[in-house]
Chain A
Amino acid sequence: MSETYNFTIDGKEITGRPGQTILQAADEAGVYIPRLCAHKELCAHGSCRVCTVMVNGRPQSACTQPAGAGMVVENETPKLLGMRKQLIDMLFVEGNHFCMFCEKSGNCELQGLAYRFGIMAPQHPYMFQKKDVDASHPDIYIDQNRCIVCARCVRASHDVDGKSAFGFVGRGIHKKIAFNAEHNLSETKLAATDMAAGICPVGAIIKKRVGFAIPVGQRKYDTKPIGSDIEKR
């Protein structure tokens, strides 16, 4: 264990191992750093920016920043909370999130974070942009109204499933998920058993015929805030 090192998050002593990011070390130590695009089975992407922490006074995304000895990390400060709320708000107004009929509601990580942060209504105006829905695939449908361009599906399909079913097109506010096909999703090799089909943090990738299976009250974030599982450790 000689290779371990110590650093602090909000004053709490954390032990890190070589090669760990701040996020990974924090998870192990039972400190929850909010995140959306990060997923423990995928390489870091660093796009949602929700996990941004202050490292020795400088902002860094915890999912990409290697932890290091003696680092002083700030996580749950009022300033960062305010900015994270803004990011969550941005994702809500950028898309068209109709939680009331979304299959993912209650298990949605974006919604879960909004609950955790106590957001009652976004502070930004809604953009109401037109987005595509693709239901061509026999087992899966894609609703881009809910997409937060986190690239989990892109990474899972490319790195894990070995299929590259997804990618990005466009830039700026027009950046969006696209399929590795001339016309639609059914032309890709995506299968419902793929990691990419089940890894969406929101309701943008939905498996058909399995929605609303868990009763209200028993869903992931109905009674316990997102991150509780990590904080319990």
Chain B
Amino acid sequence: MTKPKVATTSLAGCFGCHMSVLDIDDRILKLIELVDFDKSPVDDIKEFTGRCLVGIVEGGCANEENVRVLQDFRKHCDILISLGDCAIMGGIPAMRNTISLQECLDEAYKNGPTVHNPSGKIPNDPEIPLLLDKVYPCHEVVKIDYHLPGCPPLADTIWQALVALLNDKPMDLPYELVKYD
């Protein structure tokens, strides 16, 4: 029997949630027995090779590339999980959401107290993905099936959620495992 496939990505996140995935310690060996990883920073597969059972998304959508990747995940995954506070509500990057984009850029590249940028230019290479007007929680861009909050979510939370999904069981997480910090 072929193993179900899992894909993961970090959009506008800090990779902390991925660290938490690795934090399941030796259970990672069990995980590899249960699943194969497809597109993921874990195995450095850049594009989907086929259909996946579970897609795990860290981070919200701050730029057009995040949106493209997220939509790609939705297309390729049966079940999509928003992992961590950034995916769920935008997280730290969403602090910019109450400030205009121009003001954010000016502060980051011109006016901020720690900025050293004699040219006064705001980077604008065609390679740089365009920023969105605000940082969007993932479920405001595509349909999300499960949310696992936390910054990052605990390794136990991720493990129990995955085991439940892979065994087709309801995701009843105990009280201690659902935290927003």
Direct contact of A and B (CB under 8 A): yes
Q: Is the CB of A100 within 8 A of B85?
A: yes
Question: What residues of B have a CB within 8 angstroms of the CB of A106 in the complex?
Answer: 181
B163 within 8 A of A: no
B140: contacting residue among A92, A115, A125, A129, CB under 8 A? A125
Q: How far is the CB of A14 from chain B (nearest CB, A)?
A: 26
B148 within 8 A of A: yes
Q: Is the CB of B149 within 8 A of A131?
A: no
Q: Is the CB of A115 within 8 A of B147?
A: no
Q: How far is the CB of B146 from chain A (nearest CB, A)?
A: 7
In A185-223, the 8 Å CB interface with B consists of 216, 222-223
Of A92, A122, A129, the most chain B CB neighbours within 10 A belong to A122
Q: Is the CB of B175 within 8 A of A225?
A: yes
Tell me whether chain A's interface is mostly helix, strand or loop, or mixed: loop
| B: interface residue count bin | 20 to 34
Question: What residues of B have a CB within 8 angstroms of the CB of A120 in the complex?
Answer: 88, 146-149, 178
A105 within 8 A of B: yes
A164 within 8 A of B: no
Question: What residues of A have a CB within 8 angstroms of the CB of B9 in the complex?
Answer: none
Q: How far is the CB of A206 from chain B (nearest CB, A)?
A: 15
A109-132 Cβ-contact flags toward B at 8 Å (1 or 0) = 001001100101110011011110
Q: Is the CB of A100 within 8 A of B91?
A: yes
Q: How far is the CB of A117 from chain B (nearest CB, A)?
A: 10
Q: Is the CB of A98 within 8 A of B147?
A: no
B59 within 8 A of A: no
Q: Is the CB of A223 within 8 A of B139?
A: no
B94: contacting residue among A115, A121, A128, CB under 8 A? A128
| A: interface residue count bin | 20 to 34
B55 within 8 A of A: no
Q: Is the CB of B175 within 8 A of A223?
A: yes
A121: contacting residue among B88, B176, B179, CB under 8 A? B88
Which residue on B lies nearest to A102, using beta carbons? B181
Q: Is the CB of B139 within 8 A of A121?
A: yes
Q: How far is the CB of B16 from chain A (nearest CB, A)?
A: 10
Question: What residues of A have a CB within 8 angstroms of the CB of B134 in the complex?
Answer: 128
Which residue on A lies nearest to B146, using beta carbons? A120
Question: What residues of A have a CB within 8 angstroms of the CB of B146 in the complex?
Answer: 120
Q: Is the CB of A101 within 8 A of B92?
A: yes
B98: contacting residue among A125, A128, A223, A225, CB under 8 A? A128
Q: Which residues of B contact A (CB under 8 A)?
A: 82, 85, 88-92, 94-95, 97-99, 134, 137, 139-140, 144, 146-149, 151, 175-176, 178-181
List 10 A-B pairs, minimum CB-CB distance, nearest first: A100-B151, A99-B180, A121-B147, A128-B97, A130-B98, A120-B147, A105-B181, A121-B88, A99-B181, A100-B181
* 21 A–B contacts, CB within 8 A, in A order: A98-B94, A98-B95, A99-B180, A100-B91, A100-B151, A101-B92, A105-B181, A115-B178, A120-B88, A120-B146, A121-B82, A121-B89, A121-B144, A121-B149, A126-B89, A126-B94, A126-B140, A128-B94, A129-B98, A131-B98, A224-B175
